[in-house]
Amino acid sequence: MPGKRKRVRIAWTAAALATLATLTTAALTPAPATATGPRQAGSYDIQRCGNTSNRVLLTFDDWSYDNSKRAVQVGEYLQGKGIRAAFFLINEYASQYPGTVDTLRRQGHYVGNHTWSHPHLPQLSEQEVRTEISKGVASTLLRPPYGDFGERETRIAAELGYRMCTWTIDTLDWDGPGGSRTASQIRAAVKDAPAADKRGGVVLGHLFTRYPDVLPDIIGDLRGQGYTFCRNTGATTRNIPAVLKC
């Protein structure tokens, strides 16, 4: 759907300009718009990242640029709730804090690849795409920055041992003054999402927004609606299975 893809890009550019105008220290890396790639690869559902359970998988992208410990703090909170989440860290930042990835995995979370420097992969050469993925967090799941990918990126990722992973619910948490929507907007984006996107779904949010702050409300809302979360069954490894253990 080339027409749709173009519209998405234009929307993102306007949003980016608005966001960049108000940025201070947060959000050095802009956040995703709408995933542009295919949704299905054989029986593997790219939007659900291998989550074939009925449980909700919470995901956390990028990095918290003013607090290097935020990922680990979020991981600890969720572990305490018995919840397994997935983190897709920009390795250009995460690699400056060795031990972060291992700690998250010890906490029982999946940690996937979000490339080295968060580029639009389709705008790069084949070799540049390979380098961006190869220098990312070593794993078997790749979340393409901005959800921007096509057949070439899917092929290269597969050659490097990765499955693509996007989302069913986009909180659009980055889309507000200072690089974040309000807590109530983020909460509503999840609570009011269609049931089909929640059951067995994948929620996208970012470490640099108010999304982590509103987790207690999101968890309470969804549990109140009868949903459950991916269960934390202990430490994980870099090899995230094609069928997630949720």
- Site residues (vs Zn ion, CB under 5 A): 61-62, 145
**Min CB(62)–Zn ion separation in Å:** 4
To the nearest 10°, report the CA torsion of 224, 227, 232, 237: -140
For residue 40, the SS3 value is strand
| Residue whose Cβ sits closest to Zn ion | 61
Give the Cα separation of 89 and 14 in Å (integer): 25
- Cβ closest to Zn ion, residue 31 vs residue 55: 31
- Cβ closest to Zn ion, residue 147 vs residue 200: 147
**Min CB(246)–Zn ion separation in Å:** 22
What is the β-pairing status of strands 44-45 and 40-41?
Answer: antiparallel
**Min CB(34)–Zn ion separation in Å:** 13
Give the Cα separation of 89 and 4 in Å (integer): 28
**Min CB(195)–Zn ion separation in Å:** 26
**Min CB(231)–Zn ion separation in Å:** 26
Give the Cα separation of 165 and 137 in Å (integer): 14
**Where do the DSSP E strands lie in the chain?**
40-41, 44-45, 57-62, 86-89, 110-113, 141-142, 163-164, 169-170, 202-206
- Cβ closest to Zn ion, residue 87 vs residue 229: 87
Residue 122 DSSP label? G
- Cβ closest to Zn ion, residue 61 vs residue 173: 61
- Cβ closest to Zn ion, residue 36 vs residue 53: 36
